[in-house]
Structure formats: structure tokens, C-alpha cells
Amino acid sequence: MKDSGDSKDQQLMVALRVRPISVAELEEGATLIAHKVDEQIVVLMDPTEDPDDILRAHRSREKSYLFDVAFDFTATQEMVYQATTKTLIEGVISGYNATVFAYGPTGCGKTYTMLGTDHEPGIYVRTLNDLFRAIEETSNDMEYEVSMSYLEIYNEMIRDLLNPSLGYLELREDSKGVIQVAGITEVSTINAKEIMQLLMKGNRQRTQEPTAANQTSSRSHAVLQVAVRQRSRVKNILQEVRQGRLFMIDLAGSERASQTQNRGQRMKEGAHINRSLLALGNCINALSDKSSNKYINYRDSKLTRLLKDSLGGNSRTVMIAHISPASSAFEESRNTLTYAGRAKNIKTRVKQNLLSVSYHIAQYTSIIADLRGEIQRLKCKIDEQAGRGQARGRLERGDIRHIQAEVQLHSGQGEQAEMRQLREQLISAFQEQMDVRRRLLELENRAMEVQIDTSRHLLTIAGWEHEKSRRALKWREEQRKESYTKDDSEKDSDTGDDQPDMLEPPEVASARESIAALAGEQKKLHKQKVSRVWGAAGGVRPGSSGYTCCVTLLSSLTSLCLICLICKMGAVMLQPSWGRWEDFQRLQNSTLPPLSTESEAHRMFKASPGAWQVKSSSVPTPPPIQISSLVTQEGPPQDSLGSRIISSPDSSENLSEVPLSCKERKEILTGTKCILVKAARRRSQALGPEGCHLLAPATEHSSLSLHSLSEAEDAQPPGPLACKRPPSPMLQHTAREDNLSSSTGEAPSQAVEHRSDGPRPWPRGQKKSLGKKREESLEAKRRKRRSRSFEVMGQGLSRPKTHLLGPCPTEGMSDHRMPVCGHPAPGIRHLGKITLPLAKVRFPPSQNTGPGDPSRPAIPPNPAGTSPRVTRGPHLPHGTSTHGKDGRIRHN
């Protein structure tokens, strides 16, 4: 260990404090002779000067003294501490020595300044408080060791005030000249409170005796020493240790024997006090004389030996001189001021007590142990702080939970019952809704079954009508052949021959009856569904908006189902083998396969050569079949229901020659047209904008109104497009309405007329002339018919058209011409046109018979010439069916 650090000269600081004049002094008649002129100057008046003394007339009666700082009776303890001692604390911590001592005559306030009272603590207490506060502030980086000792020099003997039992102690000087008190008690602590308790204990041990000058006169010099060792917490091979010492000395007061009136022990004490103070004065004189190189005799007294460093060595020293302002203490005050003034010239050489400690490698283990201990200490500190934070957090969370629980308890009691009630109501409403849905599904299932049965019966009836028409045609052919061989008279006589009646098969009659029953059931189911929806809607009444919504919903569903049914029926009827009675028989005995998926429907259409005509891409769901007209309308007589079915492609033109069949067919077509238009409208309404958007590609072609249909019929070249033009692959289900409607009106005749012109487009300008020709031809045919000729009168269909179609479906539905999803209906009229070729095209008689006519399938003859009853079904001769390029069926 070695000392290091630079030294510098430090002037001794001298402060003067003038205490208040005491009551005793006032009683003695003393006057104030010490006055503070400014912060540094004090004037002392000489009370003994006689103004009448001529010899001293020109001498000044007052003398001024300059100090570093001066205090009078107005100064507080804090002011004295701040101005004298506080600045020393930082130096002590940094390794500098410092000394504060109170000097002055007895009873002038030295003990008051240094020790103070309980209410006005002195420099001891204030200094220690600030010292430990400064150590605490830098303790994270620096490690401190603080030790304290408290002694008195009484009668030139040193006593340990912290442990008086130790007896008198000796002063020793080490090799470096540092004065040490051998065996003194040094209490190491960094607790300021503990040091203060020790200080109080030591003061009680200090020798105080009342004298005439001071009731609490200190008969000894008290020395409080505080040593501070500071080192960095960062361990290194070279460790710096800074050691500073602070001396705070309360000297005993110089006294005069006459003043103290001491006798005996008190006089002896005073002698020792004065001797030590004299030695101190001599040292101060010697130290303050800059010019002289006098020997400083510190060894004259233990006080000067102890204050060796403080006076002339390595220390920042502050001397606080005390005087009484009373005129009675003029001599003591003047001497004190003189000594204090001299001390002001004393300079000390101050240097930092810096000790460099180089550790041996063997000491590393202890250093490591110290470091580990330090790490452990820091960990404990962190854990302690974290635990404190967690405890605080738990406390806060506990408070929050407690508050929440209270809030829930108070506010939730009323709301819980209400919430429970609402929940029960919600659950019951949900269950009721599910029940209604289930019942509706059951009704839907039943309605689907009814629809399937109805469609099956309708197919049966349609098959029979077809067969009947075919037999009638065959019979007329035979009759015409026979008529060529007979003369006119025989012809006239044969005009009364009618076509033999064909007995209706029992299954057809049964189908008609079943259809009637099923229609009633359909109606009943529909009413039930509507009532269910009303109930589910919570009391929706007819005529209200809710009612409209319900009906719309149901209608939309049923319309979709209907569309599926018609597509399916169309696909079946366009089978190559369709038109034979056995096909109807086969279909009658089999249930309609449901179009469960779009792919299935696609397969079905593909399987048929004519499937492209009816392929519907917009109906992917299984078709719950429902014919609205049978349910929602008071339909035509049930016996005509069979005639509503779409005619067989092969026989449609021949059917027109049968008045009753033609009428029925028109009714069927009209009714179907009405249904389809309604279905399309309801589907559009049900789907709404979103559905329209989704179905836009399809509806663009399938949206249809009668108006658009009629326009289409007018604008579109009928015959060739219907018969020979390759069909569009984008055929839609509703496009069949176009076909159906055209089959009931002028289009067929136009097609017939146009057929002779080849596949050129139909010119609009020729329509009127063609109409005229058609009328003429019709008239001629009538005449022929009256003359018992058997020419086919396919054009006669145009006559009942206005009667059948006029008011009811066409005009009525023309109001429903609506653009679906914003797409105008006319834009789709050329697309998706399903052509049932033979139902649309009427052939003139001259062309009907030619088997080689490619535009029309030849009607297979009945070589057996049997009656319809005998020849129906499997007995009908037929060749191999082939398909023309226009998709129509040919029988070879």
C-alpha cells in the first residue's frame, strides 16, 4: 500500500461567531462591545478606554477584525454549518482530511456550536447526517467503510468517551507521521442514527463541571474523529483506497482564574486547559508566520499533537472562533480575535489520501469470494425488489377483483334474473323455429312425392294421347288410300265414316283420376305450408308485406322445382325412342329418376341425342316437382289434363288434324307457358340481386316473358332456324316456353311455308303475304275437308289461337315482362331456344308422306293395318331410329 495523489496549499478558514449576550452579563452591567459590521468584519470596542484621558485621546477605541465569515447573535446553527463545515464533507469522502474546531474563551458558545441542543443540533449531527447521505448516494459504485471514535483530552490525558473504562490512552505516531490514539474504540458503521446515539453517549461521559463563568463548562477538549475508507466496487489487481478523516473538536475554553473563581480541581483543570491552548496558540503563531521558519512544537500538548495534521499538515481546517459580546469579556475576546486573526494566515498542504493496493495472486481467491458475495447480494436485492413489486401487483389485482366481485354482486342480481328469462325465451323461440322448419320440410317432401306421382300420371296420359293420335293418322292414311280406289259417289257415301273410337286404357283413366286427387292434395299442402310460414313469421296476415314474402318464398321454391321437372320431362320426351306406346308404358311403370345433381342431369342429357335442346345448366338441385297451375289455379276440366302434355315430336303435326287433340294441346301449351313464366319470375324474385348475379350467365339466356317470346317469334326466322339450324349449345330450360308458345301460333305455319324456301332467313316482309297464302290454303283445305278429302289441316291451329291464348296467359303475363337482374329480356330471345321440331313444324300433306324427306321423320306405316287397340304398344312396326343433323328423329 502506498500513498499517492497531488497536494495543494489550502488556507485555514477562520470563522467568528459572536454569541448573544447572556442575562448574567447584562445583570453585571456589561455592554455590547462586539459588533458584526458585515459578513466578514467584526468590530470590537474597548470598554476600558477613558475619553477623559488626554494621553489616549487620539487612540482608536475600536478595532476591526477580518475573518472568512462572521456570525452574530442572529445566526442560526444551520447558517454556521452551511458556511463552515458542509463543504468539507465531499473532501472527506474523496480521501481528504478535514478539521473543524471551536475555539474561544469559556462560556462563549463553543459546545453550543459543535454539539448544539436537541432542538438546535450542532455541527456534529449535521455533518454526520450529510456524510452518510453522501455515502448512500454513491454506494452503488463505491464501497465505504466508516469508523468513528470519540475522545477527550482532560488534564492532558486522553480518554475514550465511547468506552471510558479503557482508561487513559496514549498518542502514537506511525512511520508516516500520522498520529494515532492507541487502543481507541473505533465503531464501524454506516448508520447515521447509530453514530448519533454513540455521540450522545460519549457526551454524557464528557467531563463537564459548572463554573462561575459557565454552568455547563467543558473541562476537556473533545475530539470526534470520523474516518471514511472508500474503494471502488470494481475489483482489480490494483485497487485504489481513499481514506479521509474528519476531526470535529470542541476545545475547552480558556479561562481566567479570577473569572472562573476556580479552586482546587477546577483550577488544576483550568491550568491544563490553558497550557494546551497556549501550545495551540504557539503553533498557530508559528504556522501563521510566513517569513519565519520557526519550529512548530506540536509536542507541547496532546491537543497540538493530535491536531498536527489539522494545523500544519494534510487537512482542510476550519476554525470557528467564539467570543462574547459583553464588555466584561473584552480581554478574552480581544485575545481570541487576535489568535483567530493569526490563524487566518495559516496554510496547509492538502493532498488526497489515495492508497493503491496491489493484490497478490494468492489473494484472488478472496477477491473472487468477495465478488461472489457481491453478486449474491445484488441478486438478493433484485429479488427483494421484484418480490416487493409482485406483492404490490398482487395487492392491486386483489383489489381489482374484489371491486369487480362487489360490482357484479350488486349490479348482477337484478340483471341475472332478467338475463335468465331472456335466455329461456330465446331457447324456446329457437326450438319453435326448428319445429316449424321440420314441419315445412315434411310438407316439402310430401309435395315432392305428389309432384312425382302427378308427373308420372301425366306422362301416362300424354303417351296415350300420342298413341291415339298416331292411330288416327294411320287410320286416315288408310282411308285416303282406299278413297283413291273408289269413285266419287262412293266417296260421298263414305264421308259419313268416322274414325273408330279407341277405348282408353284403364291405366289412363286411373291416371286422370289420380291427377285430380293429387291436385287437391297439392293445394292442401300449399295451404299448409303457407299457414306454417305465417305461424313461423309470428302472425303474418294475408295482404301484409310479411305474407307476400312468405308466399314469394314458397313460390320461388316451387318454381325452381317446376323448372326442374319440365326439363326432365323434356329430356325424356326427346329420347330417340320417344313416341312409342311402349315407351310410355315403360315410363309409367318406373318412377322418374331424380335429377339429384347437375352432373347427373348433365349425364342424362348427354345420353340423349336430343339432350342439347333441353339441357339446363341453371337447375342443379333435385327437382321437387310442382305444377303451379294445378295447385294455384282452378284448372281446366280434369279430362283435358292429359291433353296438356307436350305432344310427341313425331306426332305433333298430325295431332293438329284432330280437332279435340289440337285444342287440348293448345291448352296444355298455354298453361305450361304460363307456369314457366311464373316460375321464372318467382325464381328471379326469390334469388334476388345476389342470386341474379350468380345466375347471370344463365338467366341472361333463360329470362323470358311472353312478350319477348312473341317478339322472338316475330323476329326470328322460324322454320329453318327451328328445324335445320344447329341448335345453340346454351339452351336453357325456360327457352322451351318459346318453343311451346310458337307451337301454338303462327310460327308453325310460318315454318311450313318457309320450309319450301330452304334454309334462308325468314324475311319480315313476307309475313303478310304468307298469311294470306295461309288463309287461302286454309280455305282450300276446308273445302277439301267438306269434300271428304283427308288433307292435313295443320294450319288450322291459327284459328283458335286468339280464343285460347288471347286473354289469359299471353296478355296477362306480358305485364310480367321483366328484365331479370337488370338484363332486358329481349336480349335473350334468340338464345336457348329449345326446338321440339315436330311440334313446331307443320308439313303440307304433299310433303308428309315422303319417307325420304329429310326435314321430317317419316311416320312408320302400320303394315298390319290392325286397329289401334290391337296395334298399340309393341306391335307397332318401326325401324331403327336415327337422328338427323337437326336433332330430329327419323325412323328408317
Kindly indicate which of the ranges 108-116, 415-423, 541-549, 700-708 contains the residues binding ligand ATP, using the contact rule CB under 6 A: 108-116
Rounded Cα–Cα distance for residues 594 and 355 (Å): 108
Please say which residue, 267 or 400, places its beta carbon nearer to ligand ATP: 267
- Residue 511 belongs to what H/E stretch? helix 506-536
Kindly indicate which of the ranges 104-112, 312-320, 626-634, 763-771 contains the residues binding ligand ATP, using the contact rule CB under 6 A: 104-112
Rounded Cα–Cα distance for residues 260 and 266 (Å): 9
Chosen residue from 15, 108, 318, 525 binding ligand ATP by CB under 6 A? 108
Q: How far is the CB of 50 from ligand ATP (least distance, A)?
A: 30
Please say which residue, 109 or 887, places its beta carbon nearer to ligand ATP: 109
Rounded Cα–Cα distance for residues 685 and 680 (Å): 9
Q: How far is the CB of 101 from ligand ATP (least distance, A)?
A: 12
Please say which residue, 76 or 802, places its beta carbon nearer to ligand ATP: 76
Chosen residue from 36, 110, 470, 755 binding ligand ATP by CB under 6 A? 110
Kindly indicate which of the ranges 106-114, 281-289, 405-413, 655-663 contains the residues binding ligand ATP, using the contact rule CB under 6 A: 106-114
Q: How far is the CB of 214 from ligand ATP (least distance, A)?
A: 4
- With vertex at residue 757, the alpha carbon angle to CA 754 and CA 758, rounded to the nearest 5 degrees, is 100
Helix (H, G, I), strand (E, B) or coil at 642: helix
β-pair partners for 225: 149, 247
Cβ neighbors of 668 (< 8 A, separation 6 or more) are 643, 644, 645, 646
Kindly indicate which of the ranges 136-144, 213-221, 542-550, 823-831 contains the residues binding ligand ATP, using the contact rule CB under 6 A: 213-221
Kindly indicate which of the ranges 101-109, 522-530, 536-544, 752-760 contains the residues binding ligand ATP, using the contact rule CB under 6 A: 101-109
Q: Are strands 238-250 and 221-232 parallel, antiparallel or unpaired?
A: antiparallel
Cβ distance 257 to 266 under 8 Å? no
Please say which residue, 19 or 774, places its beta carbon nearer to ligand ATP: 19
Please say which residue, 338 or 766, places its beta carbon nearer to ligand ATP: 338
Please say which residue, 125 or 821, places its beta carbon nearer to ligand ATP: 125
Q: How far is the CB of 252 from ligand ATP (least distance, A)?
A: 5
Please say which residue, 126 or 682, places its beta carbon nearer to ligand ATP: 126
Residue 549, marked binder: no
Chosen residue from 217, 522, 705, 810 binding ligand ATP by CB under 6 A? 217
Q: How far is the CB of 112 from ligand ATP (least distance, A)?
A: 4
Chosen residue from 87, 216, 425, 882 binding ligand ATP by CB under 6 A? 216
Q: Which strands, in side-by-side order, build the sheet including 62-66?
A: 34-36, 41-45, 62-66
Residue 29, marked binder: no
Position of cell 494545523?
Answer: 311
Residue 576, marked binder: no
Q: How far is the CB of 209 from ligand ATP (least distance, A)?
A: 9
Cβ neighbors of 558 (< 8 A, separation 6 or more) are 447, 526, 624, 626, 628, 679, 682
Please say which residue, 19 or 529, places its beta carbon nearer to ligand ATP: 19
- What is the four-CA torsion angle of 84, 87, 91, 93, rounded to 10 degrees? 110
> Total residues at the site for ligand ATP (CB under 6 A)?
17
Residue 701 binds ligand ATP, judged by CB under 6 A: no
How many Å from the N-terminal Cα to the C-terminal Cα in the chain?
A: 133
Please say which residue, 251 or 566, places its beta carbon nearer to ligand ATP: 251
Residue 692, marked binder: no
Q: Are strands 98-103 and 316-323 parallel, antiparallel or unpaired?
A: parallel
Please say which residue, 215 or 787, places its beta carbon nearer to ligand ATP: 215
Rounded Cα–Cα distance for residues 225 and 233 (Å): 25
Q: Which CA distances in Å does 168 have to 158, 159, 161, 308, 513? A: 5, 5, 10, 20, 145
Kindly indicate which of the ranges 216-224, 520-528, 535-543, 867-875 contains the residues binding ligand ATP, using the contact rule CB under 6 A: 216-224
The CB-nearest residue to ligand ATP is 109
Chosen residue from 107, 745, 794, 796 binding ligand ATP by CB under 6 A? 107
Enumerate residues 111-130 that contact ligand ATP by CB under 6 A. Answer: 111-112
β-pair partners for 69: 15
Q: How far is the CB of 42 from ligand ATP (least distance, A)?
A: 14
Backbone φ and ψ of 705, nearest 5° = -135, 165
- Give me the helix-helix angle, 659-694 and 545-573, nearest 10°: 120
Report the 3 state secondary structure along 440-452.
Answer: HHHHHHHHHHHHH
Name residue 764's amino acid.
R
Helix (H, G, I), strand (E, B) or coil at 21: coil
Please say which residue, 16 or 630, places its beta carbon nearer to ligand ATP: 16
Please say which residue, 110 or 126, places its beta carbon nearer to ligand ATP: 110
Kindly indicate which of the ranges 30-38, 212-220, 344-352, 573-581 contains the residues binding ligand ATP, using the contact rule CB under 6 A: 212-220
Cβ neighbors of 163 (< 8 A, separation 6 or more) are 185
Rounded Cα–Cα distance for residues 682 and 671 (Å): 16
x/- track of binding to ligand ATP for residues 8-37 (CB under 6 A): -----------xx-----------------
Cβ distance 657 to 475 under 8 Å? no
Residue 620, marked binder: no
Concatenating the DSSP letter of every residue in 787-823 gives TT-----GGGGHHHHHHHHIIIIIIHHHTT---BTTB
Say if residue 539 is exposed, middle or buried (CB neighbours under 10 Å; 0-12, 13-18, 19+): exposed
Say if residue 518 is exposed, middle or buried (CB neighbours under 10 Å; 0-12, 13-18, 19+): buried
β-pair partners for 157: 154
Q: How far is the CB of 80 from ligand ATP (least distance, A)?
A: 9
Q: How far is the CB of 13 from ligand ATP (least distance, A)?
A: 19
x/- track of binding to ligand ATP for residues 306-335 (CB under 6 A): ----------------x-------------
x/- track of binding to ligand ATP for residues 140-179 (CB under 6 A): ----------------------------------------
Total Cβ atoms within 10 A of residue 694: 14
Chosen residue from 10, 218, 348, 716 binding ligand ATP by CB under 6 A? 218
Kindly indicate which of the ranges 105-113, 137-145, 193-201, 382-390 contains the residues binding ligand ATP, using the contact rule CB under 6 A: 105-113
Total Cβ atoms within 10 A of residue 845: 16
Q: How far is the CB of 374 from ligand ATP (least distance, A)?
A: 45
Joined grid coordinates for residue 411: 349490479
Please say which residue, 104 or 718, places its beta carbon nearer to ligand ATP: 104
Say if residue 570 is exposed, middle or buried (CB neighbours under 10 Å; 0-12, 13-18, 19+): buried
Residue 796, marked binder: no
Q: How far is the CB of 28 from ligand ATP (least distance, A)?
A: 15
Please say which residue, 111 or 871, places its beta carbon nearer to ligand ATP: 111
Residue 253, marked binder: no
Residue 108, marked binder: yes
Please say which residue, 106 or 522, places its beta carbon nearer to ligand ATP: 106
Enumerate residues 247-276 that contact ligand ATP by CB under 6 A. Answer: 252-253
Residues annotated within a binding site for ATP: 104-111
Binding site for ligand ATP (CB under 6 A): 19-20, 104, 106-112, 214, 216-218, 252-253, 322
